[in-house]
Structure 1
Amino acid sequence: MATNDRRRREIVVGLVATPPDYPAQVVARLTAELADLLAERVDADVRWTVREGWGEVAPRRDGGVEALLDDLAQRRADARWDITICLTDLPLHTERLPLVAQTSARRRVALLSLPALGLRQRRAVRAAVPELVARLLADAREERVPPAGPALAGRVAAVHRMVGGTDAGERAYVASRLAGRVRLVAGMVRANRPGRALLGLSKLLVGAFGTAAFALTTNTIWQMGDALGALRLTAIMLLGLTALVAWLIIAHDLWEKPDPSTPAELARMFNLGTILTLTLATAVSYVALFAGTLLAAALLIDTSVLEQSLERPVDVTDYLMLAWIISSLATVGGAIGSGLEDEDTVRAAAYGYHPEPGGWRDEKDT
């Protein structure tokens, strides 16, 4: 068996993650199984070798897709790989449509935009990458590998159609205009990992709990909760959450500004991803704060004491309203706590920000 393996033609496929943050996690998982997937879906008579690497921490934005493909081709040539596939979290567009993937037979490279795949990205990546490899080999007229089987659109739900010149081997796979944009935005939030932003706001939550604990001892707040209706409490809650998100963006300079290296459209997409990530993280924090405040109110405020303050019988609804107003007010107090957070921890919620990972310089030099 070992002798047969040595006699088989070897094709080296390089997987590059750029930036080396979330895409690197996807690449690491895919590398372990890609050789088997290629043997199963492309050609079992080829000895597939898969290599992984990191792309730039701050990939080129000004040149769009072509700049990324050029950089990827140089990386392929330097590493002496046969085919290179790049996984990126950049939200890319072509012909005003979300770009899911693009292949370049001339460069022998392809890229796959993770956000365009939507929420179930890792399953889509497993389906898409073997098809991209097969398409590149077929377009490059590799006679030892048969042409790609089912079209990428048949494998990946995000792909709506293919655009570009098929004769030149430059193919772009795009999503639909409406559903594709919705999937792209959802995929950006998924790629930005809201859980990381939530954990990064721990001091904010602690500060909010401290504010809520103080408010629970003030009977004036009890009376305010009783006097305000559900409509005004909803408005207070929304204003508090909006103010918190705005404060986080302003205080920690999370707003992406257009410049010569970042087109305005890309900056808008980055800012949208940041806003949605922070909104989701703060909304989950608010739910946790509400649950904690409700529990504390039930334990600390006796029903008879609350009835004496409100001058009427009370039930569980009154405790819910009390927790509601206190949580909304404490959310604003929690913004003060957010100023104590580590700068890098909070900036991780910015879509365009990617910290330099450990080992980056060594891997790059290698």
Structure 2
Amino acid sequence: MSDERPTETPEIVVGLVATPPDYPALVAVRLTAELAGRLAERVHADVRWTVRNGWGEVAPRRDGGAEALLDDLARRRTDERWDVAICLTDLPLHTERVPLVAQTSARRRVAMVSLPALGLRQLRAVRAVVPDLVGRLLADASDERLPPAGRAPAELARRVAAIRRTVGKGDAGELRYVASRLIGRVRLLTGMVKANRPGRALLGLSKLLVGAFGTAAFALTNSTIWSVGDALGGLRLTVIMVLGLTALVAWLIVAHDLWEKPDRETPAELARMFNLGTILTLSLATAVSYVVLFIGTVLAEALLIDTSVLEQELRRPVDFTDYLTLAWIISSLATVGGAIGSGLEDEETVRAAAYGYHPEPGGWKDERDG
């Protein structure tokens, strides 16, 4: 009878922390459910992978950037007795004036990923990025529980286009993955808009749409506007539309104090990125609102304005393009009325469109047992 005992499968605990507890937490929850399987497939199958998540305790300190996040994450990893920890954040981070995608520290056994730097397909990208980061941390730390055959981590720079790897100066085991100056900035901005969830901003501006529809309904009964719209050319109508949308975005920013100002905690570069993210998010939300208003106005015209009445006012035959032109001018003018009505929006709802604003969601709490 043999005295050999079956070798116990080693367990490696991976902590997944979202900071702040808003959009990154949604990504972390979805990733947690499948990360163990991906680690077994991509890093090593002969290890029992345990994934725990948390949020709320690692503060997104803007002044320290990635280093502050990594220091906080390292303390969290030690307290929770995780083997390695990964932080997902929606902070747009930079190093040497180029977007920072990810950073690892073998000494602290932690890594962070900036979700906006991954662009629009963030969940898909983070599924590819996080297993590579975990494998890299364990390999650089020479963790004995990971068999030698599993110590050849994949190169993360090959999985995400237009990024490259650099070696940190202060930490021998520190690696940074940075994006290209041009493509990386474009991807960062689109990623910021996605992380800011324009749909939430659109739903939050419901009173704006109601006010705009009210203005449009009044304008439909004014025959003078019919004649003005008919006299204006496409260029002037385009200018009026752009001015109306710009006024609406500006009103929302000023009325609800959405403009981020540089201070001790927010460097000027970060404040500029926050403001640009806010402008793009609001612009997208208001543009969609404009399309909804335009379609609604066209339908209302078809129901309320008979062709013969419009021909009598314009003194010429009309067709469907005339209805579209009329809806165009009315929708553009109605956005001004909508801007005035938007001042009645709930402050919390509108401020959610500001990129630097992170409310404490009522349902989120720090779940240490993952």
Please indicate the TM-score interval, normalised by the length of the shorter structure.
over 0.9
Contact residue 161 and residue 175 of structure 1 kept, 8 A: no
2:129 pairs with 1:125: no
> Residue 317 of structure 1: CA displacement?
1.4
The residue identity in structure 2 corresponding to 1:281 is: A
Question: Residues 19 and 51 of structure 1: is their aligned pair in 2 closer, same or farther, counting only changes over 3 Å?
Answer: same
Which runs of no fewer than 5 residues in structure 1 stay unpaired?
A: none
TM-score (norm 1): 0.95
Give the aligned partner of residue 9 of structure 1.
10
Q: What are the superposed Cα offsets for residues 5-31 of structure 1, whole Å, 9 maximum, x if unpaired?
A: 992111110000001111001000000
Contact residue 15 and residue 85 of structure 2 kept, 8 A: yes
Q: Structure 2: how far apart are the matches of 1:57 and 1:147?
A: 29
TM-score (norm 2): 0.94
> Residue 167 of structure 1: CA displacement?
7.8
Give the aligned partner of residue 281 of structure 1.
285
Q: What are the superposed Cα offsets for residues 171-215 of structure 1, whole Å, 9 maximum, x if unpaired?
A: 000011110110000000011000010000011001100100000
Give the aligned partner of residue 180 of structure 1.
184
> Match for 1:191 among 172, 189, 195?
195
The residue identity in structure 1 corresponding to 2:253 is: I
> Residue 156 of structure 1: CA displacement?
2.1
Q: What are the superposed Cα offsets for residues 86-125 of structure 1, whole Å, 9 maximum, x if unpaired?
A: 0000000111110000000111100000000000010100
2:153 pairs with 1:149: yes
C-alpha RMSD of the superposition: 1.9
Q: Which moved more, 1:237-246 or 1:58-67?
A: 58-67
**Other structure's SS at 1:172 match:** strand
Give the aligned partner of residue 35 of structure 1.
36
Contact residue 105 and residue 171 of structure 2 kept, 8 A: no
2:114 pairs with 1:113: yes
Which runs of no fewer than 5 residues in structure 2 stay unpaired?
A: none
2:334 pairs with 1:356: no
Q: What are the superposed Cα offsets for residues 114-141 of structure 1, whole Å, 9 maximum, x if unpaired?
A: 0000000101000000000000011111
Identity between Structure 1 and Structure 2 (%):
81
Give the aligned partner of residue 223 of structure 1.
227
Q: What are the superposed Cα offsets for residues 127-177 of structure 1, whole Å, 9 maximum, x if unpaired?
A: 000000000011111133232333001122252333435981100000111
Give the aligned partner of residue 323 of structure 1.
327
Contact residue 102 and residue 111 of structure 1 kept, 8 A: yes
Q: Structure 1: how far apart are the matches of 2:28 and 2:161?
A: 20
The residue identity in structure 1 corresponding to 2:199 is: G
> Residue 363 of structure 1: CA displacement?
4.8
The residue identity in structure 2 corresponding to 1:75 is: R
The residue identity in structure 2 corresponding to 1:202 is: S
Give the aligned partner of residue 90 of structure 2.
89
Question: Residues 130 and 27 of structure 1: is their aligned pair in 2 closer, same or farther, counting only changes over 3 Å?
Answer: same
> Residue 313 of structure 1: CA displacement?
1.1
Question: Residues 180 and 364 of structure 1: is their aligned pair in 2 closer, same or farther, counting only changes over 3 Å?
Answer: same
**Other structure's SS at 1:142 match:** coil
Contact residue 53 and residue 367 of structure 2 kept, 8 A: no
Q: What are the superposed Cα offsets for residues 206-238 of structure 1, whole Å, 9 maximum, x if unpaired?
A: 110010000000000000101111111100000
Q: Structure 2: how far apart are the matches of 1:11 and 1:262?
A: 37
- Aligned positions of 1:67-106 closer than 5 A: 67-106=68-107
> Residue 285 of structure 1: CA displacement?
0.3
Give the aligned partner of residue 271 of structure 2.
267
Give the aligned partner of residue 308 of structure 1.
312
Give the aligned partner of residue 51 of structure 2.
50
Question: Residues 200 and 31 of structure 1: is their aligned pair in 2 closer, same or farther, counting only changes over 3 Å?
Answer: same
Question: Residues 336 and 128 of structure 1: is their aligned pair in 2 closer, same or farther, counting only changes over 3 Å?
Answer: same
Q: Structure 2: how far apart are the matches of 1:19 and 1:362?
A: 11
2:262 pairs with 1:258: yes
